[in-house]
């Protein structure tokens, strides 16, 4: 099977590289319906790929053939170590090699945080790897980035890992109970019933990382606590791994209250996206805290971008499109000398966050 997205010009130095790969490894490298092969080809449009039996032949522009060969070799190392490849890993590996030819994507992306129910949880991009390393090296870490970058999921995986290793005695997961635009009204049921919908994403992640039969027992024993942010006031949290999710919806006062709950032997991870603030009024505590605590030791701010999105590939493109749109809108308003346009709620929130 041969595919080529582009043909090098006659002036381009041409070269060829051939790799011999075992049958099972070849199947895993190519992916379902050759999906991973297609991803590799998109990364190197000046390289034609010929797959025959157990051989892959790369031909075309010399520099791109060399880069493609290095990428395939790194992907093979990951396959041989039991890593289930997806297009995300292929794109991330190519990006790592592009930024640093001496780097090894197999080393960066093969660090499993934990394995649960036959699935390994590991960072899938260089940005995620830096974020996970920062959690290991600092007492308080802020993970700031757009939707789909794994901020909360990886933080919870590190929390479960710390509990399993007996590095902490309990896990505390919290988030502010703020509506995302809609007015939910007076929900029926007990207080627990009312706040449960806000905390459901945290329960879902827990059930993915741990045996679903064990989670209720740990919740009942208080080893794992999932609670709204308001419940943190007045407490000192010792020997705990604490994760604050959706922190962009905290006020500055709530953020200060949360951070000062830190006790001995504890670690905190704060996650949020400052472009998705749902507070009805006021300033986001997450945006303010970056200016207040940025110079303190043992506190780290990890910034993730659209390059770290691990959901559908369209999510990263959507994030970039909205970023470009916001930049154009703000530039036009500054040129015209007009005030911000509050014709829709999103623009109102965006302008408030930029203050």
Residues in the chain: 355
Taking residue 195's Cβ as centre, other Cβ atoms within 10 Å add up to: 19
Q: Count CA atoms within 13 Å of residue 76 on its CB side.
A: 15
Q: Tell me the C-alpha distance between 60 and 40, whole Å.
A: 14
1 is written with which tokens? 């099977």
Residue 338: its pLDDT value, please? 59
Q: Tell me the C-alpha distance between 241 and 139, whole Å.
A: 10
DSSP per-residue codes, 193-257: HHHHHHHHHHHHHHHHHS-TTTHHHHHHHTSEEEEEGGGGTT--B-SEEEEE-SGGGS-HHHHHH
pLDDT, tens digit (0-9, with 9 covering 90-100), for 261-317:
999 999 999 999 998 888 888 889 999 998 999 899 999 999 998 888 876 667 777
Q: Tell me the C-alpha distance between 215 and 354, whole Å.
A: 40
SS3 142: strand
Residue 11: its pLDDT value, please? 55
Residue 299: its pLDDT value, please? 97
- Mean pLDDT in the chain? 83
Displacement of CA 85 from its chain's centroid (Å) = 17
C-alpha closest to that of 53 among 15, 32, 27: 27
36 is written with which tokens? 């991973």
pLDDT in tens, the chain (355 residues): 444 444 555 555 688 888 888 878 888 888 887 777 888 888 888 888 888 888 889 998 888 899 899 999 988 888 888 787 888 788 888 888 887 777 788 887 878 899 877 778 889 888 999 999 999 999 999 999 998 899 999 999 999 999 999 999 999 999 887 654 444 455 566 656 666 777 788 888 888 899 888 999 999 999 999 888 988 999 999 999 999 999 999 999 999 999 999 999 999 999 999 988 888 888 899 999 989 998 999 999 999 988 888 766 677 778 778 878 877 877 777 777 655 443 344 444 444 444 4
* Domains along the chain with CATH numbers: 2-110 (3.30.1370.10), 119-312 (3.40.50.300), 315-354 (no CATH)
SS3 288: helix
Residue 350: its pLDDT value, please? 41
- Measured at the CA of 67, the angle between CA 64 and CA 69, to 5 degrees, comes to 105
291 phi, psi to nearest 5 deg: -85, -25
């Amino acid at each position: 099977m041969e595919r080529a997205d582009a043909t090098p010009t006659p002036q381009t130095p041409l070269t060829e590289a051939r790799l011999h790969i075992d049958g099972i490894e070849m199947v895993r490298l190519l992916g379902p319906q050759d999906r991973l092969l297609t991803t590799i080809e998109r990364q190197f449009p000046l390289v034609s790929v010929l797959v025959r039996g157990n051989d892959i032949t790369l031909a075309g522009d010399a520099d791109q053939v060399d880069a493609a060969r290095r990428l395939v070799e790194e992907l093979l190392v990951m396959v041989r170590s039991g890593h289930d490849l997806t297009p995300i890993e292929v794109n991330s590996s190519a990006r790592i090699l592009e930024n640093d030819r001496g780097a090894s994507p197999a080393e960066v992306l093969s660090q499993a945080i934990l394995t649960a129910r036959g699935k390994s949880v590991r960072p899938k991009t260089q940005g995620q790897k830096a974020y996970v390393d920062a959690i290991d090296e600092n007492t308080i870490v802020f993970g700031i980035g757009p939707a789909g970058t794994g901020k909360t999921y990886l933080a919870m995986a590190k929390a479960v890992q710390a509990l399993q290793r007996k590095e902490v005695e309990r896990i505390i997961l919290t988030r502010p109970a703020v509506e995302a635009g809609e007015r939910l009204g007076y929900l029926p049921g007990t207080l627990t019933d009312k706040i449960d919908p806000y905390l459901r994403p945290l329960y879902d992640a827990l059930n993915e990382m741990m045996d679903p039969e064990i989670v209720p027992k740990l919740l009942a024993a208080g080893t794992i606590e999932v609670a709204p942010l308001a419940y943190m006031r007045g407490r000192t949290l010792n020997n705990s791994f604490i994760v604050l999710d959706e922190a962009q919806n905290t006020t500055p006062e709530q953020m200060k209250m949360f951070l000062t709950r830190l006790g001995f032997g504890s670690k905190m991870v704060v996650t949020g996206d400052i472009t998705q603030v749902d507070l009805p009024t006021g300033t986001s505590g997450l945006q303010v805290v970056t200016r207040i605590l940025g110079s303190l030791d043992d506190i780290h701010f990890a910034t993730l971008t659209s390059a770290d999105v691990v959901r559908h590939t369209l999510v990263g493109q959507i994030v970039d499109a909205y970023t470009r749109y916001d930049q154009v809108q703000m530039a036009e308003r500054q040129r015209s000398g007009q005030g911000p346009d509050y014709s829709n709620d999103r623009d109102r929130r965006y302008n408030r966050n930029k203050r």
